[in-house]
Chains A and B, each alone.
Chain A
Amino acid sequence: MSILSIESLFVRYGGITALNGVSVEVRQGETVLLIGSNGAGKSSLINAVTGLVSTSGGRILFEGRDLAGIPSAARSRLGIGYSPEGRRVFRSLTVRENVLSSTLGLSRAAAEENFAWACSIFPLLAERAGQPANQLSGGEQQIVALARAVSTLPKLLLLDEPFLGLAPVWIDRISDAIRELQRRGTTILMTEQMARPALKLVDRAYVMRGGEVRRSGDVAEIREEALAEEYL
């Protein structure tokens, strides 16, 4: 069953059409990649799902429910976790506070339990718990953004360019973190420009360009095409 169905979605910013009738499916338990170069419309699609950008056509169904008119905060509480492009950790908050910031809808006990759970996946969090997030490196901030997104135990994790600007060693570490989340049953929709590390993590991929899906398929099919294109 599809946990997320995006049907013929349009997003416009003034005169610019960022998404031009895009359809994407994510099924329970799988990891799906949106791949495309800068400006392809990946973030617009992710943020149409989080509710941070408004759509001008099409439908987004989450667990069969139309998200139209549901505010961003309520979508998070329905079970949509989100790690933004560029990480955007809360800079003046500590690492622990960042991870707890998304748990307002949970009981205190559940929030603390989930923080401990996040620390078990990402040991860095426990080591740096009291440190302001703006003192961390980009890779460390990505871990914090991931932990913040999963500390509510979301049904669907949206991951916008987790490798952006990171050194290879951090790309490996973030990849390991994503695999750990997959082992624990997390359903993921992620975006990337970097095909090589991203394709290792996912079941299926959609190739986007100019606000449209150009191709889609399982990893074996996409890998060859992507390698032939300039996304590498």
Chain B
Amino acid sequence: MVTFVSAGVIGLSMGAQYALIAIGFTLIFGILGVVNFAHGGFYVLGGYLAFTLSHVLGVPFVAAIVLATIATAAIGYVVEIVLVEKYVVDHLATMLITLGFYQILITAIVVFYGAEPMDFSFPITGSLRSGGIFVPYSNLIVFVVCGAAIAAVYWLVYRTRYGIALRAMADDGPVARSQGIPPATMFPMAFAIATGLAGLTGALVTPMLALDPHVGEGVLLKAFVVVILGGMGSIPGAMLAAFIVGLTEAYASVYLGGSKGALVLFVLVLVILLVRPQGIFGTEARKA
């Protein structure tokens, strides 16, 4: 029982991270129709920015995370306008562009920081122990911050007119434009929100897990799994699927051993997709 609760808290904490990554990924796909292969890169970038600010420049950790989030959002905004915008209707082109940007970004990081893992650690150590329950404080903090960020995104997307416009754009782009919703401001804003969320997650999570130039690849893969499971383009789907994935991994690694987590996860995903090929919250194939 005690192990069950501890693993559950860790699973929720991982689910919250996956949710932040996947919400951004699915937001970009739903609104721009772009599969952002650079998404993991913004996670890595968030990590390196937070590391540089806090460990090299001596900025307090909390401020470093806030600044890293803002910077990744701003960089995402510029990337959308400069690289993606012009080719947004061409799916193959945007895949190649985002993949190319990812390669350039990672190569630049290797050039500046080297390929070795950074010694980036969470400033708060120790664990909450009570009644045999054992949860690292870092996991709790990640869970609370990611949870707050999820709530903020949810509010933005479902409670503001800006969010209405974003979802209208995802539903039917041409009609949205005809109703006064300007793609020229909505697209880069959506991209900035999404990359900012990836940057925040990277800044928050890499000190707990690992920071090296290639941690973004696993993150992108996880985002794919979550988004396909939840239904491409669906934000509620991404949230739910992220927690399913996080909890499955946590419980599988506790009860079946670490290496079985991925196996159980992929079997689960396969089974769900056999029953619902469009994902949990997905609608049938989108019109072209």
Contact = CB atoms under 8 A, between A and B. Distances in A.
Contact of A104 (B167, B172, B180): B180
Contact of B174 (A52, A75, A91, A93): A52
B162 interface: yes
B88 to A, nearest CB: 14
A111 interface: yes
Contacts of B258: none
Interface in B169-190: 170-172, 174-184
B278 to A, nearest CB: 14
**Which residue, of B167, B168, B172, has the highest number of chain A Cβ atoms within 10 A?**
B168
B178 A101 contact: no
A144 to B, nearest CB: 12
B89 to A, nearest CB: 14
A104 B168 CA distance: 12
Nearest to A76: B180
B165 interface: yes
Contacts of A101: 161, 164-165, 168, 176, 179, 181
A152 B167 contact: no
Interface string A63-93: 0000000011111110000101000101111
A82 B178 contact: yes
A152 B178 contact: no
A4 to B, nearest CB: 16
Contacts of B161: 100-101, 103-104, 108, 111
Contacts of A148: 179
Interface residues of B, number: 21
A93 B168 contact: yes
Nearest to A158: B178
Contact of B178 (A72, A91, A103): A72
B178 A90 contact: no
A71 B175 contact: no
A125 B274 CA distance: 39
Contact of A50 (B162, B165, B172, B178): B178
Nearest to A88: B175
B177 A72 contact: yes
A88 B176 CA distance: 10
B138 to A, nearest CB: 37
Given A52-B174, A71-B184, A88-B172, A93 B164 contact: yes
A76 B178 contact: yes
Contacts of A52: 174, 177-178
B167 A102 contact: no
B208 to A, nearest CB: 35
**Which residue, of B168, B175, B183, has the highest number of chain A Cβ atoms within 10 A?**
B175
A51 interface: yes
Interface string B135-166: 00000000000000000000000000110110
A104 B164 CA distance: 9
- Top 4 closest pairs, chain A to chain B, by CB: A76-B180, A102-B179, A73-B182, A72-B177
Interface of B: 161-162, 164-165, 167-168, 170-172, 174-184, 283
Given A84-B178, A90-B171, A101-B181, 11 more contacts: A72-B177, A72-B178, A73-B184, A90-B168, A90-B172, A90-B175, A92-B283, A98-B168, A101-B179, A104-B162, A105-B180
Interface of A: 50-52, 71-77, 82, 84, 88, 90-93, 97-98, 100-105, 108, 111, 148-149, 152
